[in-house]
Structure 1
């Protein structure tokens, strides 16, 4: 025991680096998730006495992860109030008229949105749009998805709140005694990288694959659409209005036909005037269906008893079991529809939209139903052996009337920080309080919008970085590197820090790399007697602008799956873009920093 204690006392810094090396190997091997590795690594430092209890829990006072969590909630509020969906509708309407101009507008929109919103929801939103734009323009979708992702990531490098990595680095830098970063302090250098990256994309587009993805469908599997019907009530204010003037249809709700009496019309419906009892056959995503249900403007779906309303009770999701006796029969004849007071308000079928209308749809195994009804009916559905996974639908209606509040809250947080009234962390928390008290988003949805895995990873890596500093490992590494740096020109430090963080981030978690390298970079700058600020900015952007592997950035993995790319596709286009963006950012830092 005394020998181990003595060993830890003499070789404390070296043992700290050994633990770090083991973590690096575990990150690369990917046997466990990065979060698990980071937590276990932090525990290892605690076990070996390099991180005491007080120091370990001190990382929870760091404002960076809390700011990241607040930005997740604000992004979730924009989704919940329908702002993001409305923007998508406008893009698709524009694309129908001027598809090529729409591509440029989408690129600009992705760049600007990603500067203030988390990249992940932006890319998730844009994936189905890029599939539709590919159809409208005739461009192969594989030539659109990677560029869209690159632009979104570069947009995140334009402001301090654009990525969680920026906030992590800024938070650690503030703890190390550096002046606080403003929201636009990195914008000039990020803009240089974004401009260079976009030019590189235009020049190197021939390196992108053009073969179609093997995934069926037109959206990469990102959207779950339902077939439903909107029934015009007898006392509806819409009676006599032209269908095209209803303002209902866009990306989320698509008109497929008009059922009047026993006839279904599919063509030239915009000028048709609505009558009482008309059925509008539509394709809509789950959120749009729930929004239409809450509005009460139409009756939704089909029911055996016309007095059963879709607005009554709750909505559950249920999957048709392969053993269901109604397989092959009309949905209108499914037994529970006649035995219970329920209303089927939508049916989803993987990779295919059923039809010709809701009532006449032939039931298949694995069809998913949205069913509205009272508590007794819901209990009966859960007891039905021919229905699988009956549970309350997690899809929520949009709250469009509160959209202006969500926009104002996000804009207010940005402006308060930009004019240095308060820090971005406090501004974001105040904005979260505003959207919660005005019910732009419910508390459970707000907390669900937070990526807990990301926050735990950040906290754990902050603990690892603190342990390396307390163990003397940071000082040891700086001592090794300093003699090499002393003979190099000062301007090369920016390039070294940038490309070191870039290479590591292509293999490891961006936030993990940021948390590890920030204290080392600052200590190195102090040791060499140079301003650490340009080096820290180089680290911020270098740890995010990673395009050469599908695991280099979290959104890379999204388009990798959606576009059915090969690993080599990312390497082929990503390596030259990494180099071009890196040279542009570092040159701007050297010349202007």
Structure 2
């Protein structure tokens, strides 16, 4: 090997060591690796920076915006509430969690899918007496399964396709990978329902001990044209709400206490609930209910559609003390609408408008995201804090968001435009049609992931141009000989091992040139190796650190590190067996 090849291998070894130790952020480690290769002359500036203009990386960024539109319009929430239902068996519950997750993750980045499903499934599990630990790990795994079913299902697929097209090959089709992704997903789901459910722990949520015990009184209005009108309390799904209780209904001038399950909802009914913050956040995502905004509040909502929940505690200096909410005109004074009140654990009755404000009352407000910064040091409030993931969804634009995603998929699949063009047009349409605000779109783009992808390309390019990839491929071939099926299995296992130690995108970029060199040496088609890298780089099942969705469910599910080893290692071996068996049959050597 040339001297530059040894430098590249040394940089690769150092990069892997730093990524595995997790002392520095992954994007910083890979940026340092890129700068080292550039400084030592291993790569020219165009070669080192090529990743920042790669089609795969730009497509990933555009799809983040499309996914944000689905999240902010509540489009995914509608699917969650309609599909979960009331299961009688654990296996049925797991299927109802996994099936829609796989379907959605095939077309939407799986991180927002899991982020949306997570709170809904926690509440759903409580309602149905199920342990969340039996459902959340299958949720994460199903999101990974779905990502392997289409080209846009996960950023890893787009990155590998970017490498493939960068070598001068025509781009892969939207559903090409489905030939191996769907059988693998079905096998994985069957394993989790038949064997995995016995290995999954039955454990209390790790966050439940720190749950906010404060009970709020919240009032919601039944929208006159909404889907809940003329439905009973049970049919509307308002009887079993976990930590939220329907106290009474305010109908015109009378109050209906101790609401019967068969009571039918009428237009403009005011429903008074008692519950904690998490339950109220979920309540706001039920289509057909909204906060009973006054004329001024409604004007604020129209002017500033991007709103979220904020928690404040009234100080003794607040000028609105001893006034009712209606008299105080809180919305005019502070530019925010009161949606709930908590007072020393008391259950407040008769509607929020008649509540007399007192010092130390805790209010839950619906306000613009900048409201917190503007009022954080106000003498009128003792505490001001925003509630995470509490943005008010815009259900009226959910159909637009789904239509945009469908247009992206159809146009790319039919070959009308290239995948990158379809994704960019989808992102532009999401912004232009008001499915997501510009600021929310900026926040939705995970710059850490994009920087990791861009810098990983430099390391992969160095392996290729210095001949280091070919040398590693020769070592790879010395073990199994010239049997391409065995080489494919070994390449899959190496990629799978790497993706548990470093990010899946980095693992794919590092293994791609090695696999291409191995295919060239064997004199076989490189396509089986391309799809093996895609599948193996997404096979992050045996550690919570292997993939971000695993980490998202780790705390809420009350899991331990060994739980992922126990359930994930057999699953990884199963996925390896299915992929290595199916890939050469679909794409012959």
Normalising by structure 1, report the TM-score: 0.82
- When residues 290 and 87 of structure 1 are mapped into structure 2, their CA distance, relative to the original with a 3 A threshold, is closer
The separation in 2 between residues aligned to 1:274 and 1:61, in whole angstroms, is 55
- Structure 2 unaligned spans of 5+: none
- Partner residue, 2:292: 299
1:13 deviation in Å? 1.0
- Partner residue, 1:280: 271
The separation in 2 between residues aligned to 1:559 and 1:423, in whole angstroms, is 35
1:84-483 residue pairs with structure 2 within 5 A?
84-92=76-84, 94-95=85-86, 101=92, 103-201=94-192, 202-216=194-208, 227-230=217-220, 244=232, 255-259=246-250, 265-268=257-260, 271=263, 279-282=270-273, 285=280, 299-300=292-293, 309=297, 311-312=299-300, 319-320=311-312, 341-342=333-334, 344-347=337-340, 355-357=347-349, 358=352, 367=362, 369-370=364-365, 382-384=377-379, 386-389=381-384, 396-483=391-478
SS at match of 1:31: coil
- When residues 561 and 58 of structure 1 are mapped into structure 2, their CA distance, relative to the original with a 3 A threshold, is same
- Partner residue, 1:67: 59
Q: String of CA shifts for 1:51-77, please: whole Å, max 9, x gaps.
A: 222222322221001111111111111
Q: String of CA shifts for 1:297-355, please: whole Å, max 9, x gaps.
A: 8733xxxxx986464487786554697679xx9995999878973565134879x9973
Q: String of CA shifts for 1:398-442, please: whole Å, max 9, x gaps.
A: 333332222121111111222222222211112222222222222
- When residues 265 and 427 of structure 1 are mapped into structure 2, their CA distance, relative to the original with a 3 A threshold, is same
The separation in 2 between residues aligned to 1:139 and 1:296, in whole angstroms, is 27
1:254 deviation in Å? 7.8
- Partner residue, 2:498: 504
**Contact in 2 for aligned 1:320/1:364 (Cα 8 Å):** no
- Partner residue, 2:569: 575
**Contact in 2 for aligned 1:319/1:390 (Cα 8 Å):** yes
1:115 deviation in Å? 0.9
Q: Which moved more, 1:147-156 or 1:508-517?
A: 147-156
The separation in 2 between residues aligned to 1:378 and 1:517, in whole angstroms, is 46
- Structure 1 unaligned spans of 5+: 1-8, 301-305
1:189 deviation in Å? 0.8
Q: Which moved more, 1:252-261 or 1:433-442?
A: 252-261
SS at match of 2:570: helix
How many residue pairs were aligned? 564
**Contact in 2 for aligned 1:526/1:532 (Cα 8 Å):** yes
SS at match of 1:370: strand
The separation in 1 between residues aligned to 2:535 and 2:308, in whole angstroms, is 45
**Contact in 2 for aligned 1:183/1:414 (Cα 8 Å):** yes
The separation in 2 between residues aligned to 1:272 and 1:369, in whole angstroms, is 28
- When residues 257 and 203 of structure 1 are mapped into structure 2, their CA distance, relative to the original with a 3 A threshold, is same
- When residues 316 and 537 of structure 1 are mapped into structure 2, their CA distance, relative to the original with a 3 A threshold, is closer
The separation in 2 between residues aligned to 1:364 and 1:464, in whole angstroms, is 60
Q: String of CA shifts for 1:60-108, please: whole Å, max 9, x gaps.
A: 221001111111111111112221111122135x228999756433321
The separation in 2 between residues aligned to 1:232 and 1:105, in whole angstroms, is 28
- When residues 550 and 361 of structure 1 are mapped into structure 2, their CA distance, relative to the original with a 3 A threshold, is farther
Q: Which moved more, 1:460-469 or 1:382-391?
A: 382-391
